[in-house]
Structures are given as structure tokens and as C-alpha cells.
Chains A and B, each alone.
Chain A
Amino acid sequence: MSPGRILAIARRIAQGFRRDERTLGLMFVVPLVVTALLGWVLNEQVDAIVDVAIVNEAGEVGDRIVTAMEDAATETDSDITVAAALGPGGTPEAEAMVRDGRADLAIVIPADLLERVLAGERPTLTVITEGTDPAAEMGRFGTLQSIMANVAAELVPPGANPPVLPEVERRTIYLSPDASQADVLAPIFLGFFGYFFVFLLTGVSFLRERIGGTLERLLATPVTRFEIVTGYSLGFGIFATIQVIALTLFILNSVDVPAIGPLPPFSIGLGVDAAGSPLLAFAIALLLSLGAVNLGIFLSTFARTELQVIQFIPLVIVPQALLSGILWPTERLPDVLRAISDVLPLTYAVDGLREVMLKGSDLTSVAVQTDLAVLGGIALFFVVLASLTIKREVA
């Protein structure tokens, strides 16, 4: 093994990047755009006003609920508006309103409301929604429920005591109860974007070596395939380092941009308070990238054009995004998918980054040790796999 040749290959990659201003620029622009957009969306999410259509089948008793809701709607900072209060038989009209967007949801107060309350039973209200956007509807449903809790007091028959509802106070072990989505997602971005970019760039770069004849020329020199793989890992390691540093800076810091013209003020960067060492988070992201470099080299064997490398994205990146615990906790995955999730490098990187950045774990934590060990193992596995695809016999 010759360190000189390894360094020569790493230098060659760095020289290529130096001339490729666009790729170099993207390394900084992408984290900037993504974190700015995310910080904006997650931190300053506007509470959507829910337009409610009410159908009252219960007559006078129901009017009390309608009035209570109308009162709630007129309060400042109210999250609802009453789009229409309809009398008995108004259900088809309410449904039409939901269908054509004049109302977000409709509530039907049943005719047997009074009967059931008097019988000591719980009355059932029917809520009609469009049903096409579960996430948005869950939010509206939540808004409605909090308002119904207040309205419930109005339902108490005159002279009776209102039910006693305990207040719930939330405490959390990590972060604060009102931690934003951005705080929780930050560690994932660090891993995911580093991985994605490095994989793509190595894949395309190595494919060019294969089809452009430079790999052949490389192999006509005394260089070993281990030196090639190490040189590549080192060269793209520099790239990954810059990328991860840029991402870390944007995630940990934030810059407020004042209102410019018609643009409202916003902030670039997430300004997350990382609990643990940024250096350890950086190490995890770098180990993940090392695997990505060699996965890129390995998969470039199976591509003939750059477009075909891009086609690996759904195969390599999407399953990782879905199964590595970014969107759903891995414990809740079905057995088969759980097994797949267990071999994906991003699973361990996401877990490790969460441990370090959210829980403040350090190297003494078994979870962090495991994640580092598995990531190292996976990287090593792909180093071997990548070197096996580089043969002096290219034809």
C-alpha cells in the first residue's frame, strides 16, 4: 500500500471539485435552502382556521351548543369560524358545503341529544369531513375537540354540577414539552442529506471513471484496488466533511432575516440546541458517508450511464427514508420491514444522531457505541464490496 498513491487519488477528486463550482455551491446552498424552508414551515406554522358547518337536529337543546360554538368562534385567536348553522334536515346541504370547500367539516347534533343526556348516556355527534387528507383532517379534528371540551360545560343540565376534568401538565425527559418539529428532525437531516449527496456524487464520479477509460488507465499503473477505494473514500470524505459542517452550522445556528418588501421576516437555519457533542454527531455522519462513497462505487458497476445512477435513488434512498425511523418508529414496522430496517445504515445513523443531539448521549452510551460499531461495520462491508468490483479485468 502506498500512501502517496492514495493521496494522489484524493487530491485528484478535490481538484475536480475545485473546478466544479456548481457542485461546490450546491454543498452550501442545499443545506441553506432546506433548513431555511424547514425552519420557516415548522417553527412558524400558521394555525389554519377551521370552517365548521353545524346541523342542529336537536332543536332548543342543540341551539345551546350552536350558540356556544358561535361564541367560541367570535373570540380573538379563535381557531374556528362557523360557516353555517343549519336546522333539522340540513345534512345534505352541510355535505355539499364540505364537498365544494365552503366548510372544512360539518357537525351533526343528533335529535336524541336531550334524551340521551337525561338518560345519563353520552350523546354522539357526527363529524363529516372530506376524507382525502388525513393529516390535515387530524389537525382540524384536534381543534374541534379542544373547542368541544369547552362547549361540554354548556351541556350540563341547569342546576347540576359540571363534570370535573383534571388538568394535564406535560413534562419531558429530553428537550422541552414545546420542542418544535424542527428540533426533532434536525438530527435526521444531518444524516440523510449527507448520505444522499455523497452517494450520488460518488456513483456518478466513479461511473465516469469506468466509461471514460480513466479507470483502465488507472489500472495500467501499479495502483491497487484497495488504494483506489481508500483514495476515493478520502477524497469524498473531504467533500462529506464540508457538507456535514455546513449542515451542522445551519442546524445549530440561525440567522433572522428581517422583512424585505412583501416578504415577511423569516430565519435561515434551525437554531436547534444540540444536547450532545456536535463532534460526535459529525463522526456519525462521516461514518455514514464513508459507507455511501463505497456503495456509490459498488453500484456504479451496474450502471451504464449517469441517468442510470440517478435511477438507483428510488432503490437506495427511498427505502432508507421510509424504513430508517425518520417517518415511523422502527419498532412499529411489520416484522419483514423491521428486518430490512435493521440492515440499513441510515437506521443506525438516525438513532445515533438522535441519541447525541437530542438526548445528549456521549461515547459512554451503549446505544451510541452500538450505532458507531454497526456503521463502521457497514462501511467496511461496502469498502470490500467496492474493491471487489474494481478488477484489472474490465472487459
Chain B
Amino acid sequence: MMTTTATTTPTAPEPAAVEAVGLRKQFGRIHAVDGVDLALAPGRIYGLLGPNGSGKTTLIRMLAGLARATGGEARILGTKMPSRPMLARIGYMPQAEALYPELSVGENLGFFASLLGRRDRAAIDGVLDLVELRDRKGTPALELSGGMRRRLSLACTLVHDPEVIFLDEPTVGVDPALRVQFWAHFRRLSAAGTTILVASHVMDEADRCDELVFMRDGRVIGRGTGAELRERAGTTDLEAAFLALSGLDAEGNPVAVREPAHGGDA
């Protein structure tokens, strides 16, 4: 298996759980993802950071087999994407709530579980305990609070014990206490060998990740642990590090003249 990371990975000898080689996605004249090389080691949590429209969602959708790349290749656990059988081993939490409002918590979860081939009671009750919604099993999703719906959405993503998990801004609208619980669980999953890629533009979440990938204009502009990135940028906070690596000054204005930004979180 070839390793084509732009920067060196500390855990390099291990085969990658998620791999992108020269991955591109073009919508008409817009290059949403513009040649991304990436190798994510198993059992680690990665943060995918970048401003709105930097190509995070498009990259995740290609890795999760939902969008076809216009160039390059994506591989999950060594299998070239898109691959249908592989989808049962991937968990994907979209940005949108993506629940059936008229269905109950249990019915929503049961539906996605059976599509993923895991319709046993234990799996469903287990994941409901995890997101603390077991006592709401019969409540229609419509009647849940925003935070509860977010938890249910996460439960639908985790119900089949996926080996690779893609989370697209999972904690939007989630209160701080619950966010801590989410992350404690992500940690447990990664300790058990699950690879997690979390897209976010919330920098305070970034420090909870093992490693960070900075994206801008469809390209990876930096990668490493939080400490490494801070050191490289010569700053003490991540936000400043991101701006420096993006070629922006502290106010977010370009330091050098660049191509105008394009691409979108389509």
C-alpha cells in the first residue's frame, strides 16, 4: 500500500484506514476538492478543519462513497470507493438532521439499522443508552428537542458498529455538557480501533483530536497534531495557526495575493 501523504505521519508503517490519492471533485468550473492526498491511520481521531466552502463536506462525501471523484482515488480499509459492501462498515453523519420526523426514535433507528444489516435489539438499545434516548424510544422525532434529534442522528450513524466514521459537524446545536459526552464516546470508539474523521469549523473541538487536517480552497494546507501546527505557525492558539497557514493575517485578510477562493460545501 502506498503512502502519499503530503506531510509525514508518525504512525506511517501501519496500513491506512482512510486513503485519498490526488482526489478531485469538480462541479462545472468549480474545483470543490482540488487534489487531496491523505492517509489516516486506524484507531485515531482526525479533525478536518477549514472555513465554510473549503471543500470539507465534498471530501467527506467522496470518502464515504456518496459522491464520485472526478479525479484521483479514495480507499477505505484498502477498498476503492465507491464500493457498496464497504458502506456497511462506514458510519456517516450528515450535516442535516436526516431523520423521519413522523417516526419514533426507535423506528428511525430500527430503519437505518436494518438497512445496515444490524436489526438486533441489543445493538439498538445499546446505542440508545449511549445517546441517552432509551426512555424516548416511542417518541416521534418531531417532538424531540434539537439536541435530542442530533443525538438520535448520531445513534443512527453508530448503530452498526462501523470501523470508519465520518462526522460532518456533529456537535452543531449540541450543548457543552452533551458535547463532552459525545467526545468521551468518540474516544472510547477510537480506543477500540475505530477511525474517526470529524469535520468542523469550531476550533475548540480541534484540540480533542489526535491529529488535524487544515483545508482551504479544496486543498490540504497543513496537517499534524495541534502542538505541531502551533509550533510551525509560531503561535499559541490554533485559530492563529490556521490563519497563518492559510496565508492570512490576524484579521483574516490575505497576506499574499492568491487566486480568488472557490469551491463549496455542496
State the A residues within 8 Å of B (CB): 4-5, 8-9, 11-12, 15-16, 19-20, 212-214, 216-224, 392-395
- Residue from A4, A213, A218, A395 within 8 A of B27 (CB atoms): A395
Complex A-B: 17 CB contacts under 8 Å: A8-B114, A9-B111, A9-B115, A12-B103, A16-B103, A19-B103, A212-B96, A212-B100, A213-B96, A213-B98, A217-B98, A217-B112, A220-B92, A221-B88, A222-B115, A392-B67, A395-B61
Contact A394 B111 (CB under 8 A): no
In the complex, the number of residue pairs spanning A and B with C-beta atoms less than 8 Å apart equals 87
Contact B100 A16 (CB under 8 A): yes
Contact A216 B66 (CB under 8 A): yes
Query: CB within 8 Å of A: which of B113-144?
Result: 114-117, 119, 140
B90 within 8 A of A: yes
**Given A16-B100, A392-B68, A395-B58, also A220-B266 (CB < 8 A):** no
Most chain A beta-carbon neighbours within 10 Å: one of B65, B66, B104, B119: B66
Nearest B residue to A18, CB-CB: B102
Q: A4-B119, A217-B92 are in contact. List 16 more A-B contacts (CB 8 A).
A: A5-B115, A12-B111, A15-B104, A16-B100, A213-B96, A213-B97, A213-B98, A214-B98, A217-B94, A217-B156, A219-B66, A220-B66, A221-B112, A221-B115, A392-B65, A392-B82
**Given A216-B94, A222-B87, A392-B66, also A19-B102 (CB < 8 A):** yes
Contact A16 B112 (CB under 8 A): no
Q: How far is the CA of A11 from the CA of B113 in the complex (A)?
A: 13
State the B residues within 8 Å of A (CB): 27, 58, 61, 64-68, 82, 84-85, 87-88, 90, 92, 94-100, 102-104, 107, 111-112, 114-117, 119, 140, 156, 266
Q: How far is the CA of A253 from the CA of B66 in the complex (A)?
A: 52
Contact A213 B115 (CB under 8 A): no
Query: A11: which B residues are within 8 A, CB to CB?
Result: 111
Query: B111: which A residues are within 8 A, CB to CB?
Result: 8-9, 11-12
Q: How far is the CA of A57 from the CA of B62 in the complex (A)?
A: 90
Query: A5: which B residues are within 8 A, CB to CB?
Result: 114-115
Contact B107 A394 (CB under 8 A): no
Query: B98: which A residues are within 8 A, CB to CB?
Result: 212-214, 216-217
Query: A12: which B residues are within 8 A, CB to CB?
Result: 100, 103, 107, 111
A49 CB, min distance to chain B CBs, angstroms: 53
Most chain A beta-carbon neighbours within 10 Å: one of B68, B85, B98, B140: B98
B155 CB, min distance to chain A CBs, angstroms: 12
**Given A12-B107, A16-B102, A20-B102, also A220-B90 (CB < 8 A):** yes
Query: B58: which A residues are within 8 A, CB to CB?
Result: 395
Contact B67 A393 (CB under 8 A): yes
Contact B114 A15 (CB under 8 A): no
Contact B68 A393 (CB under 8 A): yes
Most chain A beta-carbon neighbours within 10 Å: one of B95, B114, B140: B114
Contact B107 A220 (CB under 8 A): no
Contact B87 A221 (CB under 8 A): yes
B95 CB, min distance to chain A CBs, angstroms: 8
Q: How far is the CA of A389 from the CA of B40 in the complex (A)?
A: 33
Query: A392: which B residues are within 8 A, CB to CB?
Result: 65-68, 82
Q: How far is the CA of A9 from the CA of B100 in the complex (A)?
A: 12
Q: How far is the CA of A221 from the CA of B97 in the complex (A)?
A: 16
B97 CB, min distance to chain A CBs, angstroms: 6
A380 CB, min distance to chain B CBs, angstroms: 24
Q: How far is the CA of A8 from the CA of B116 in the complex (A)?
A: 11
B70 CB, min distance to chain A CBs, angstroms: 11
